[in-house]
Every structure is written in C-alpha cells, then in structure tokens.
Amino acid sequence: MEEYRIGVYICWCGTNIAMMVDVEAVVEEIKKLPNVTIAKDYKYMCSDPGQDLIVKDIKEHHLNRIVVAACSPRMHEPTFRKALENAGLNPYFFEMANIREQVSWVHTDRIEATRKAKGLVAGAVKRVVHHKALNKRYVDIHPATLIIGAGVAGMSAALEIADSGQKVHLVEQCNQLGGMVRKVDLNYPYLNSSRQTISQLIKNTEEHPDIQIYTESKIDKISGYIGNFRALLSNHQEQRELEFGNILIATGLKSFDPSIIENYGYKRIPNVITSADFEKMLYSGLIHCENGKEPGNIAIIHCVGSRNENYHPYCSRTCCMTALKYINQISSAAPECNIYDIYADMRAIGKDCEELYASTSKKNVMFLMFDQQHDLPVIKQNGNGKTVSIEFTELLSGESIHIQANMVVLMTAVESQANNKEIAHLAGISTDKNGFFIEKHPKLDPVATTTEGVYIAGTCQSPKDIPDSIVQAKAAAARILATIAKGKVQVEVTTAQVNEDICCGCQCCASVCPYSAISYNEDKKVSEVNEILCKGCGTCASACPSGAIVSKHFTDNQILSQITGVLEMQIETA
C-alpha cells in the first residue's frame, strides 16, 4: 500500500487571511493529523518564493500529496498545480482549501473563524489521499475561426486574426456591417467622426481575402468542441456547414425602449425623443422639432432605464459621456439654444473623459441633479403644444424645478440582445441576470468563457465604449491565435466516466447534461461520455439513479472523506 506523505501549507495572504484566522494555530493542529509529513505557513504562498517552498519540500521530504489553504481555487489552483509539476509530481495530487473567501472574508469572530479554517484544511487533508493521477489530454486545432457579430468588436477581431493569415467566418444577422457604431455621428471624448472610423473598418473587413462575410445570416446549430467545431448556417434561404476551431461572440447590444416609463411620455408626447432618435438628427446635420423649427430649449435626461431596480440596475456606462457629446454638438449647431442637463450622477469614465466634462460645463448648459431611485422627472405637454414641462426636485438645492423645453432627449439604457439566450445555448455558455454573456473570470480571464474555445468581446459581455470593445476584441483574437499557433490545446481531464457494467441505459444523464456531452450507444444500450465536450460539472453523476457515472477527481470517496475530515475536526475543537 502506498505511503501517503502530505505537505500542508497555510497562506497568510498578507492580512487578508491572517487578520481573522490564527494561521499558526491552524498549522499546529494540522501537524497532528495522520499522513501529514510537514505543515508550514507563509505570508504569500502564490508568490515565487511560496511556490519554490513547495517544490523544495516535495523533493527533500518525498511528499506525494500537497494541500494549500489560501484563496479561492479559481484564483490560484492552476498556479499550485504547476508547482507540483515542476517538482515532478502529478498536478492532481493537490487539493486546495479556501480559507479567504469562505472564512476570513465572511466572519467577524476570530476564534470561530480559526476553528472553521482548521475544519476545512482537515477536510482537504482527508480528501487528498484519495486523489488519483490524471494525465493531460490534447486536441488538434482547426485554424479557422467563427465570429458571430460584425460590429466594431467583431470586425476588429476578424482583422486581427485574418492579418495573421488565418481564415475567419464573420456572421452578421443584419444586411450591413458596423453594428451600432454605424449609426453614430461623432464619438467622444475627442468628437471625431464615427462614420469615418467605422467606414474604414468596414472597407478593410470587406476587402480582406481571409475574411468570409455572411450578412443576413443566422447560426442554427453549433456542435463539436474546441479545435473541432461545426456550425449550421442559414444564409439567404440556403444552409451551409462551417468548420472551425474557435468561436468569438461579439453580438453587441440594443437600446432600451423607454415607453414603459410613464413619467417620460415617450411615444405619447411630441418632441420627447431617445438618444438614438437624436443621433439620427445629428447624423443628418439638422436639429429640429416636429414642426420643423429649431428648438430654443433642449433638456437631456440621463439614466433612462439604467441604475433603477424597476428597469435595469446596472450603469450603461456610455450615457453620460454621450450626453456631454450632445451638449457640444448642440452648442456648435445651435449656439443660441439653452441646454438643461438633468443627471443622476455624472460618470466620466475613460481617458480624457473628465476633461471633456470640465470643458463642457463652461458652455451654455445648466446641470441639474435628480433622484434616480425615488423621484424621476415628470414630463407633461403644455397647452400650447409647442413646449413640454419637466418637473422634479433638484437634489443639490432641494428645490422643486419646472423647466420649459421644446425638445427632450432621453439618454436610454443599453441592454442585451433579445437572442442572447439562444446564442448562449448554441455555444454552450451562460448569461447573467441581465442577459449579458458571462466571462470565465472577471479579473483573470475576462474574454474567455467556461466552454473551452468560446470567447466573448465587446458590449455583449457588458456595456462599454468603442476603445474598450476594441481592446477586448484584440485580446480575444490574441487568445485564439495563440491556440492556432500551438496547433494543439489542452482540454479538461476531470470529466465524467460511465461504468458500462451497471449503466441501465435510462439516459437521465443525457437529458441533464448542459454541454451535450453524453450520447446513447444503441448497440451497447449504455450511455457514453464525450470527454472532450465534458466539463466535469457533475450534473450527470448526481442524476444517475444507478450510480453508473463517476466524475473524475470528484468521486463519492473523495467528497465523503472531505466531509468526514471537516466534521471530525469540528468535533475535536468544539
């Protein structure tokens, strides 16, 4: 029988863990556990010296199992697995206990937090003896890429990939490239021409020999896995199949319809228009009311549908800066016009945006603040039919304000595309509560998704401006080109496995698999797992009535041992 020699390392994480957990007391308790050869604490285990400490101890003390108690495994589990590899140990002989997010950051009693930390580490020690060596698995990469959405993000990524000599399939549901930026006159903060920027981008995309464009097209089905995807495309009443190795989703967003907000009277009161409507006026070069006359007073209302729990709780990010852009454009086109900017908070996000705010405030504009949560402005039509009245309580002065305006521009929220859930289902990824696609990790992996080979870029992930969309698109393109350059990519090994001897063929597993990784073998009358598609989520294992499916690295033995370790330590330290 193998002798288990476990090394346990408790991280201080500076003061993130040590402020609430007595790290040294945890080490002393864990030293007493069976199979623990060595137990140490260190201020930053994820640092190079911390990793070197693990490598050195594995070699000197012949350790064959490692436990690190630190932050979330999502943050540094790959870091420590790499350290085990550097020491010549299989990376899956490692277990991580989260004593930062699950202990230090959520408790206020140092004694109880320390006790809980001891339990979690003891559970990890008990579990790690049941770990099995798992070997890396690789798949070949098809060099072509599918990009869904031909806005500024989709085209930027397409050009980045195609300029490297790789084939791109660019799919757009509209009849033109360009997305929302194509409808914008000027962009902030420098008030440059958007149409010049986007037209050059469209021209470069359309003329590139390695970009195949499909307009008025729709993806009906996506199958396969990273490196070996296939898609069924409907294009002008014809269907065709595409083959590619990676997917980039850049479907953008759409404008919120403010007609559901009664206070504003959109579509009921003349000359109450949205920012998209106003953008069309600016694009045409003429600002005018419904009667064709130039407005003498224009009011701009911010956060229409944003930052309000009744509509969208998030900030749409670009609205404030777009409103400042409008003020500058109005001042240039109609210098005699009085401008009222009615805002909830002024958020000047981005390079040189604060400077634009400062310079705009010197123009013929009055800034007035309203309560976004409890006191939205009310727009009423005046009897003369030429003006509207806007009533609200101004927050900074506390006074009731009545403004007469010939035109009201509603800075509408942006929201996720209506078909995002459909696309998410096709690509095997997820959306958040607001309908935007979810990234793999908001800090460490913001362009990847939990499905290998599927990336997201631009405003389909969250509201952002043009530069940020392009940066994200080029980052995703770089990730895709890196996998193409390697020719092979490592895939998940902690996957599900079917024991054919006890599989009853009920197919419960296939019905619950979110990745469509399980199929039914008619000849053998059993279920089979495509281990390349499988992500090891464990849904099938929990649903299997006969216990025929095992999730590698998450076996019943491992999980039950971990629970036992936690409970035993809690009883001993009670």
DSSP state of 424: H
The strand pairing partners of 65, in sequence order, are 6
- Quick count: other Cβ atoms within 10 Å of Cβ 334? 17
Cβ atoms 25, 114 nearer than 8 A: yes
pTM: 0.85
Residues 53, 54, 56, 61, CA torsion sign: positive
Q: Which two tokens stand for residue 223?
A: 């199958």
d(C-alpha 335, C-alpha 548), whole Å: 76
* pLDDT tens track for 348-397: 989 999 999 999 999 989 999 999 988 899 999 987 778 899 999 999 99
Q: Note whether 46 and 77 are within 8 A (CB).
A: no
Per-residue pLDDT of the chain (574 residues; tens, 9 = 90+): 679 999 999 999 999 999 999 999 999 999 999 999 999 999 999 999 999 999 999 999 999 999 999 999 988 999 999 999 999 999 999 999 999 999 999 999 999 999 999 999 999 999 999 999 999 889 999 999 999 999 999 999 999 999 999 999 999 999 999 999 998 989 999 999 988 889 999 999 999 999 999 999 999 999 998 999 999 999 888 999 999 999 999 999 999 999 999 999 999 999 999 999 999 999 888 899 998 899 999 999 999 999 999 999 999 999 999 999 999 999 999 999 999 999 999 999 899 999 999 999 999 899 999 999 888 999 999 877 788 999 999 999 999 999 999 999 999 999 999 999 999 999 989 999 999 999 998 888 999 998 899 999 999 999 999 999 999 999 999 999 999 999 999 888 999 999 999 999 999 999 999 888 899 999 999 999 988 888 888 999 999 999 999 999 999 999 999 999 999 998 888 7
pLDDT digits (tens, 9 = 90+) for 174-185: 999 999 999 898
**Which residue has tokens 């945890």?**
26
Distance in angstroms (rounded) separating the CA atoms of residues 41 and 28: 10
Domains belonging to the chain, first-starting first, are: 6-134+556-573 (3.40.50), 145-252+417-489 (3.50.50.60), 255-415 (3.50.50.60), 496-551 (3.30.70.20)
The pair of structure tokens assigned to 18 is: 């040590």
d(CA 210, CA 201): 15
- Give the β-pairing of 238-244 and 137-140: unpaired
Q: Which residue has the tokens 């269907």?
A: 239
